[in-house]
């Protein structure tokens, strides 16, 4: 898929690859955002920025406050307190202007099934009051971008779940928004459809779109997001670029050692090392936590080698998004 998308142009002054060194300016800014329903808090004073041109992952367990936050950003809910701006505009005071620069795709969406794909997009383009000539070009380009040109005359009711999801994203693009707010866009999709959605989101970022995406499928966001915010029980746990989060120091590092064959005494050997804790052994796999300086880890290996423990592989906990999430959160729910 090599979209032309003549009408859907980049909205930043330069594509992400050409921006100055360092983090880009924020296009979305959230400060001390709180949303409560009586005594129940959905969001509790969270603050974060979404850099212009980023794919920003907003992650957390179900009930953490992700959807509430995204609906406030999409001007569908009013916050109890706090300030939220999109492209410099307040979501409360400048609602109409904000809606012109955002595209929102909810976690649960419906499609009008008694129309064709082309008619469906024409309806939403008309709702944005696009002039006829521009509307025709936009629909053509959006269909090409989402690889649905061949489905233009197909009835929406006949589409697969993945194609309906893709159509909903196409609908979100018809007014050429600067910021896409996508709530669980890959939910309930098969593996191929998820891969295709990821490819499409990367292409949209290349075109200059800023994408704010929530998901609980962390492995899919690891190679997609450039920055993230982690939320739990309505409170922000951590936020920042993926590079910064991967470079964070943790008190504990998890290690897995694979042996050539099971060997007695390995657990006793490891627990003698002060920096090693929580040793568990499953046949030839030895798991433990290391609390020392990473530069001194060689002492653990030396102790194993000196006792002639047949080590064939060592895996230190990778700093992927799933690993970071497990380390930074406690598993609490509201």
Task: Quickly tell me which residue has 């042996």 as its tokens.
Answer: 259
Per-residue burial over 252-279, b if 16 or more Cβ lie within 10 Å, else e, is ebbbebebeeebeebeebbeebebbeeb
> What pLDDT, on a 0 to 100 scale, did the predictor assign at position 332?
60
At CA 165, angle to CA 163 and CA 168, rounded to 5? 110
> What pLDDT, on a 0 to 100 scale, did the predictor assign at position 104?
96
C-alpha Rg value of the chain to the nearest Å: 24
3-state SS class at 228: strand
pLDDT beneath 70: ranges in the chain: 1-24, 217, 220, 248-251, 317-320, 323, 331-334
Please name each of the domains of the chain with its CATH number. 16-242 (3.40.50.300), 253-318 (3.30.70.2470)
> What pLDDT, on a 0 to 100 scale, did the predictor assign at position 252?
73
CA dist., res. 153 & res. 124, Å (int): 16
CA dist., res. 41 & res. 39, Å (int): 6
Tally of residues, the chain = 334
Torsional sign, CA 140, 142, 144, 150: negative
Contacts of 94 (CB under 8 A, 6+ apart): none
Q: Using DSSP bridges, classify how beta strands 102-105 and 285-290 pair: parallel, antiparallel or unpaired.
A: unpaired
CA dist., res. 100 & res. 81, Å (int): 23
CA dist., res. 237 & res. 217, Å (int): 18
Contacts of 248 (CB under 8 A, 6+ apart): 319, 324
Of the candidates 260, 266, 264, which has an alpha carbon nearest to the alpha carbon of residue 279? 266
Under DSSP, the state recorded for 137 is H
HSE (side-chain half, CA atoms, 13 Å) at 24:
24
> What pLDDT, on a 0 to 100 scale, did the predictor assign at position 76?
96
Determine contact, residues 155/115, Cβ cutoff 8 Å. Answer: yes
> What pLDDT, on a 0 to 100 scale, did the predictor assign at position 13?
37
């Amino acid at each position: 898929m090599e979209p032309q998308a003549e009408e859907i142009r980049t909205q930043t002054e330069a594509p992400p690859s050409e921006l100055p060194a360092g983090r880009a300016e924020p296009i979305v800014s959230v400060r001390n955002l709180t949303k409560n329903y009586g005594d129940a808090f959905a969001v509790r004073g969270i603050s974060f920025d979404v850099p212009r041109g980023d794919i920003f992952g907003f992650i957390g367990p179900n009930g953490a406050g992700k959807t509430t936050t995204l609906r406030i950003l999409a001007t569908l809910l009013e916050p109890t307190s706090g300030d939220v701006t999109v492209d410099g505009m307040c979501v409360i005071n400048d609602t109409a202007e904000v809606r012109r620069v955002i595209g929102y795709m909810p976690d649960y969406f419906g499609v009008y099934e008694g129309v064709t794909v082309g008619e469906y997009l024409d309806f939403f383009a008309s709702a944005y009051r696009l002039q006829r000539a521009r509307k025709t070009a936009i629909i053509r380009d959006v269909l090409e971008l989402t690889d649905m040109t061949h489905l233009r005359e197909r009835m929406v009711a006949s589409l697969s779940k993945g194609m309906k999801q893709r159509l909903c994203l196409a609908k979100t693009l018809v007014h050429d928004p600067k910021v896409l707010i996508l709530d669980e866009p890959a939910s309930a999709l098969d593996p191929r459809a998820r891969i295709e959605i990821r490819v499409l989101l990367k292409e949209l970022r290349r075109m200059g779109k800023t994408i704010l995406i929530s998901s609980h499928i962390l492995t899919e966001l690891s190679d997609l997001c450039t920055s993230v915010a982690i939320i739990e029980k309505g409170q922000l746990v951590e936020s920042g670029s993926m590079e910064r989060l991967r470079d964070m120091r943790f008190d504990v590092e998890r290690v897995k050692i694979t042996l050539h064959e099971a060997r007695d005494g390995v657990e006793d050997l490891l627990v003698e090392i002060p920096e090693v804790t929580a040793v568990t052994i499953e046949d030839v796999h030895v798991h433990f936590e290391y609390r020392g300086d990473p530069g001194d880890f060689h002492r653990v290996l030396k102790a194993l080698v000196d006792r002639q423990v047949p080590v064939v592989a060592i895996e230190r906990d990778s700093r992927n998004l799933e690993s970071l999430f497990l380390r930074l959160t406690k598993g609490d729910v509201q």
